[in-house]
Amino acid sequence: MEKKFISNSSESQRMFKRDWMEALSKVHFSVPLFIYVPVILYFGWNGFVVAAITDFLLAIVGGLFVWTFTEYILHRFVFHFVPASNWGQRLHFIFHGVHHDYPNDAKRLVLPPSVSIPLATGFYFLFDAMLPTQYLYPFFSAFISGYLFYDISHYALHHANFKSSFWKRLKQHHMLHHYTDATKGYGVSSSFWDKIFRSDF
Q: Residues 48-73: what's their mean pLDDT?
A: 96
In a domain, 179, yes or no: no
pLDDT value of residue 21: 80
pLDDT value of residue 8: 67
The 3-state DSSP composition of the chain as helix, strand, coil percent (nearest 5) reads 70, 0, 30
> CA 150 to CA 131: how far, in whole Å?
24
Q: Residues 117-143: what's their mean pLDDT?
A: 96
Range of the domain at 126: 29-98+109-159
Percent of the chain with pLDDT over 70: 94
In a domain, 89, yes or no: yes
Total tally of structural domains belonging to the chain: 1
pLDDT value of residue 123: 97
In a domain, 199, yes or no: no
In a domain, 8, yes or no: no
DSSP helix/strand/coil, 3: coil
In a domain, 53, yes or no: yes
Is the pLDDT at 169 greater than 90, yes or no? yes
The model's pTM is: 0.90
> CA 159 to CA 132: how far, in whole Å?
40
User: How far is CA 136 from each of CA 33, 103, 125, rounded to the nearest angstrom?
Assistant: 21, 35, 10
In a domain, 49, yes or no: yes
In a domain, 37, yes or no: yes
With residue 175 as reference, give the H or E element that holds it: helix 165-179
Which pLDDT band holds residue 1 (cuts at 50, 70, 90)? very low
